[in-house]
Amino acid sequence: MGSGWKILARNPFKRRKPTGLDALIGVREMEDFFKLTNDSSWLLAAEGYDSVREGIYESRFSISNGFLGIRAGRVISRGERWDIPSRAYVAGLFDIPGPEDPIPVLIPGPGWQRIRAILASGPLVYHPAEATSHNMTLDMRRGFLITGCRVVDDPTIAVRARALGMVSLNERAIGLQLVELEVEHGEIEVTLEASIEGLGLGLKLEHLEQDLGVWRTKYSGKRLAIAALSSFQVDGAEVEPITPMPSSLVSAWRWKSRPGQIVRFVRLIAVARADTDDLAPELMVREKLRIAKQVGWRKVLEQHEAAWSERWHSSNFEIAGDPDAEKALRFAAFHLNSAANPTDERVSIGARGLTGDDYHGHVFWDTEIYLLPFYTFTWPQAARSLLMYRFRTIDGARAKAARMGYRGAMFAWESADTGAETTPEQVVGPDGQIVDILCGKQEQHITADVAYAVWQYWQATADVEFLLEGGAEILLETGRFWSSRAQAESDGFCHIRGIIGPDEYHEHVDDNAYTNVMARWNIRRALETVALLRERWPDQWARLSSSLGLSDAEIAAWRTVAETMATGLDPQTGLFEQFKGFFDLQEIDLAAYAGRSVPMDVVLGRERMQRSKVVKQADVVALYGLLPEEFPGDSGRVNFRYYEPRCGHGSSLSATMHGVVAARLGETDLALRYFRDTVAIDLADNHATILGGLHMASLGGTWLVAILGFAGLSLKNDGIAFAPKLPPTWKRLGFAISWQGRRIRIGIDGTKQLLSARLEAGEAMPLLVNSQCQEIRCDQEALFQLA
C-alpha cells in the first residue's frame, strides 16, 4: 500500500471544533502506526481468505492484555446473512448458563471492533470471500494486529481498507481501533456504521445511552460497563455522525465517495468489570475514557508500545541458526505476556487464555506447572498475582476437601472465580459417546502442583510479603490435605488410593507415582515452612498456626506420613511403577499406530486402554521434569527410556515434558523434535484444535523446553544454575531471567561452547554453570567454558 496512502488538500466537508480525541489527528500521521516492525522475525502474517482455517487465524492472531481479549477479525464486517458476532472476552466475567447447568462459563464480552460499509444497495461486503487481497499481520514487538483487504463492488466502487487493533498493555481497560479507507474509484453515497456487538450472550441490560452501556450477569451478579469515543474524517475534515439511534451503541457517518479519497476512523473504548454491587463500573469507564481522551489516541498507542518494549526487555529470545525456533519462542512469549494481569489477583489464566471459548475460561494445573515458570523468571509481579488468585480462592479448596472427608485445602481440578470445583460430570467423548468425567473427584495432584508453583516462586524471588500474606498458608493447608489423604496401612506405608494421575487414560488407580511423590514433597515443604516461620517470623507463625488450628502433634504426624509414603520406586532397577499394577498391564506397540489422526483411546477404546500400558501424557516423565532430585543415580534416564516409547501423547501437554527431560539427558535431537511438536500445536495450520483458542500450556511449554531444557536452568537453595545442552542447529541462545530482585542476561554460544552472564540489575550473586561457580556483577561479563 505504501505511497498510495496520502492526505488530500481538498476539504468539502463542514468542520466542527476538534475534541480531545480529534485534536491530535494532524500531529502525527496515522501512517506511522501502520508501519510494521522492519525485522520479519517479529511478524506473524497470513495472506488470503480460507474459510476452513478462518477460526485458526482468529485464535492465532488474537490480542489480549490479561483483562481484555479479542479474537482476530477482518477490517470490514460482513452483511447480516453471514454475520457472526466476533468473540471478545473480559477476564473474570463468569456466570452459569442456568440452574440446571451450574458450571460457570466465561461470558463473551463486547465485540467492539465491528464496522460496516453500507451502500444504497446494501452492505459493501456480504461474505469475506468477496473481498480480495486479504492480509493479517501480528506485530509482536509492538503488540498490534494490522489487517487489510481490497473490496470491489463493480462498477460502483472499489476501496482499499486497513485497520489496526490493540488492547493497551499500559492501561488494561482501554482498547483502540484505527481504520483507514482509500477509495480507488466510485462516486456514490456511503455509510460507515460502527457498533458494539454480541452483548446479548448471557448479559442483561441495565442501562444504555449513546456511547455507554451497563449490563449484569443473570446469576453471578457481576456487572460490565463499556464506553466508547469515536472520530471520523474524510480527507482530513471531520464529519458529524448521523443523528444517533436513541439508547444505542451504534454510530454512523455518511459521505459522498470519490477517487483518491482517504477516510479515517478512530475508536477508543473503556471496559470495567464489577464483582460486587458497591462498585460502579459506569463511573470507572467514564474516568478511564476521560483520561484517554485527554492524552489522545496517539499517546495511548505510544504508552502501549513502551509497555511492550519493557516486557520484551525481560522476555525476548535470540536464537542464531534457527529462525523458525526464534519466531516460535517470540510468538509464545507474546501470548504469555498478553495473558497475564499483575493488577488483578481475582483472576488467573484459563487453558485457552482470552483467545477462545474452549474449557469455558477454567483454570487447570496447566497454569502452575506450564505457565508459572515463565512468569516467575521473567515477570515476577504477574507470577505473584496468579498465585494470589489461588490464595483468594482457598476457601473453595477447603470446602472441597471437607466435602470429600479430608482436612486442609484441596484445589479444584477446574476452577473459575470462586475456587469451587467446576469440572463437568459428563461430556461427549471423541467417539460421540457420553463419558463420565472423574477428574474433578480423582485427579488430585493439582493440589501439590499449586504448592510446587508457590515454592518455586518463593525460591526465585524471596518475596517475604507474599509468603506471609498467602504463600505460607497455601503450603500449610496443602500439606495438611495430603497428610489426611494418605492413609497408613498394615504394610507400614501410607497409600493414596482411587485417584487419576496425569495419565488420564487410567482411572481409579492406587499409588500413582507422580501424585504420591509430589504429595510427599508438598508435605516436606510444609514442614520446612513451619520451621522457617518459627525461626524468622515467630509472631506471624503464632497467629497463623492459631487461626489454622495447627498443633505440634499434627505437624509431627505430617512428618510420619512423608517418611512412610508409598512411591512405587524399585531401588534395584531405579524404575518407578506409574501406579500399582501398571507393570502387569498389556503391552501395546505404539509404532504400529504411527501416523494415526486420532488419540489412542479412540483407536483402542476406553476399556482396552485401561488394560494397556499406553500412557496419555508424561506422568513419571513429568515427575522427573519437576523433581529430578527424586531420581537417584541414572534412574532418570532409566525411567525416560521405559516410559517415553509407551506414551501416546493424547494431550497437548505431553510433548513439553518429554522435551524438557530429553534435553536435560543430553538427547538434543529428540528434545528438538518434541520442541517442534509443542510449537506446532498452535502454529501449524493443520491443528484445528486451536479453533477454540490457543493452548496456553503449549506456549508456556515452548519456553520450558528452551530454558529449563536446552539452557538447563535450575533453582538451587542459594542461587541458580545452568547446564546447557543446545541442539546443534542452535548456534547461540540469548535471553534474560529474574532472580531475587536481579535481572541476568545470559548468552550461550554453542559454537564456542561458552556461556556469558551479565547482571543488568541488582546485587552481585553466585552463578553455577555445570561445575563452575563465579560471582557475577553489573560491571563486568562473566564467562564460563562449557567443554
Residue whose C-alpha is closest to residue 189's, from 240, 255, 262? 255
Q: Which residues pair with 735 in a beta bridge?
A: 746
State CA 416 to chain mean position distance: 15
* Stated length of the chain: 787
Q: What is the 3-state secondary structure (H, E, C) of 668-689?
A: HHHHHHHHHHHHHHHHCCCCHH
Rg, the chain, Cα only: 28
Quote the CA–CA distance of 248 and 229 in Å, as a whole number. 13
- CA angle, residues 200, 206, 212, in degrees to nearest 5: 85
Q: Quick check: is 184 catalytic?
A: no
Quote the CA–CA distance of 475 and 297 in Å, as a whole number. 45
Cβ contacts of 761 within 8 Å, gap of 6 or more: 741, 742, 743, 778
Angle formed by the axes of helices 654-664 and 668-683, nearest 10°: 160
Neighbours of 728 (CB within 10 A): 12
C-alpha cell at 395: 476457601
Neighbours of 777 (CB within 10 A): 14
C-alpha cell at 168: 493497551
Asked if 86 contacts 112 with a C-beta cutoff of 8 angstroms, the reply is no
Q: Which amino acid is at 511?
A: D
Neighbours of 246 (CB within 10 A): 8
Catalytic residue among 182, 238, 473, 504: 504
Residue 426, H or E segment? strand 426-428
Quote the CA–CA distance of 270 and 67 in Å, as a whole number. 11
Beta strands 434-436 and 719-722, pairing class: unpaired
Asked if 76 contacts 120 with a C-beta cutoff of 8 angstroms, the reply is no
Asked if 329 contacts 682 with a C-beta cutoff of 8 angstroms, the reply is no
Quote the CA–CA distance of 160 and 147 in Å, as a whole number. 11
Distance between start and end Cα atoms, the chain: 52
**At 254, phi and psi to the nearest 5?**
-125, 140
Residue whose C-alpha is closest to residue 125's, from 151, 148, 88, 91? 151
Quote the CA–CA distance of 282 and 284 in Å, as a whole number. 5
Query: Which residues are annotated as catalytic?
Result: 504
